[in-house]
């Protein structure tokens, strides 16, 4: 019981007290990000490539005069890149020092997941990818992988993206 209480404290700190998540799909898996980080949802649009970026950085978009880097979440998580469809969209999130677009396969809905329905991420191995996951949320139909949007980029990756975006804004 002690471990559950510690987890509840940790998850409340990580995901906030309202526990509202914007859910979306990557392939057959359902993911959620805390709604407080979401600033906008966009349909797919023209993306400008940037040189010397990791493969998961799709490029940048111009959003009302502001240059926004865009991450292909499918590629970031190690899945095969697919053609974009009419369901593909960009979720713009606030990642600490910068707005970032996340390309996802398909939007779902906003869900409220109570604390008692959120569990710690199982520790199967110490892979780097598990750092993206804040917890697992249970809904009536499925398990939702709750992402920690603040950790989708390593600090060095974030610095590189910020530098490229600043260069692009000057042009």
**Given this model, what pLDDT does residue 123 score?**
65
Let me know if residue 34 belongs to a domain: yes
pLDDT of 10 > 70? The answer is: no
Query: Residue 74: phi, psi to the nearest 5?
Result: -55, -50
Let me know if residue 167 belongs to a domain: no
Let me know if residue 85 belongs to a domain: yes
**Cα 68 vs. chain centroid, distance in angstroms?**
14
Let me know if residue 35 belongs to a domain: yes
> Tell me: the pLDDT tens digits for 111-169?
999 989 999 877 654 444 677 888 999 988 889 999 988 877 766 676 777 777 777 76
For the chain, count helices (H), then strands (E).
3, 11
**Given this model, what pLDDT does residue 91 score?**
97
Distance CA 71, CA 92 (A): 10
DSSP state of 152: S
For residue 4, what pLDDT band results from cuts at 50, 70 and 90? very low
Mean pLDDT within 16-25? 83
Distance CA 154, CA 170 (A): 25
Let me know if residue 171 belongs to a domain: no
Let me know if residue 169 belongs to a domain: no
Domain containing residue 142: 2-160
Total domain count, the chain: 1
**Given this model, what pLDDT does residue 25 score?**
95
Distance CA 171, CA 80 (A): 33
> Tell me: the pLDDT tens digits for 43-65?
999 999 988 888 889 999 999 88
Number of Cβ atoms within 10 Å of the Cβ of 128: 7
Residue 57's SS3 state is: strand
Let me know if residue 17 belongs to a domain: yes
Which CATH number fits the domain that encloses residue 133?
2.40.50.180
Instruction: Give yes or no for a contact between 113 and 104, defined as CB atoms under 8 angstroms apart.
Output: no
Residue 164 region, left (φ>0) first, then alpha (ψ -120 to 50), else beta?
alpha
Let me know if residue 153 belongs to a domain: yes
> Tell me: the pLDDT tens digits for 69-108?
999 999 988 899 999 999 999 999 998 778 999 999 999 9
Question: Between vectors from CA 25 to CA 149 and to CA 40, what angle results, nearest 5°?
Answer: 55
Distance CA 73, CA 107 (A): 13
């Amino acid at each position: 019981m002690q471990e559950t209480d510690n987890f509840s404290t940790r998850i409340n700190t990580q995901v906030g007290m309202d526990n509202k998540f914007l859910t979306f799909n990557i392939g057959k898996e359902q993911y959620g990000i805390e709604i407080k980080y979401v600033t906008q949802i966009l349909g797919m649009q023209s993306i400008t490539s940037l040189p010397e970026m990791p493969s998961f950085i799709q490029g940048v978009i111009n959003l009302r005069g502001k240059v926004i880097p865009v991450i292909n979440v499918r590629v970031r998580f190690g899945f095969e890149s697919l053609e974009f469809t009419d369901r593909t969209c960009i979720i713009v999130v606030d990642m600490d020092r910068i707005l970032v677009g996340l390309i996802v396969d398909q939007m779902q809905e906003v869900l409220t997941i109570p604390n008692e329905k959120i569990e710690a991420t199982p520790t199967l191995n110490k892979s780097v990818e598990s750092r993206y996951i804040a917890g697992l949320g249970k809904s009536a139909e499925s398990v939702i992988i709750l992402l920690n949007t603040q950790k989708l980029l390593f600090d060095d990756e974030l610095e590189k993206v910020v530098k490229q975006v600043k260069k692009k804004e000057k042009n």
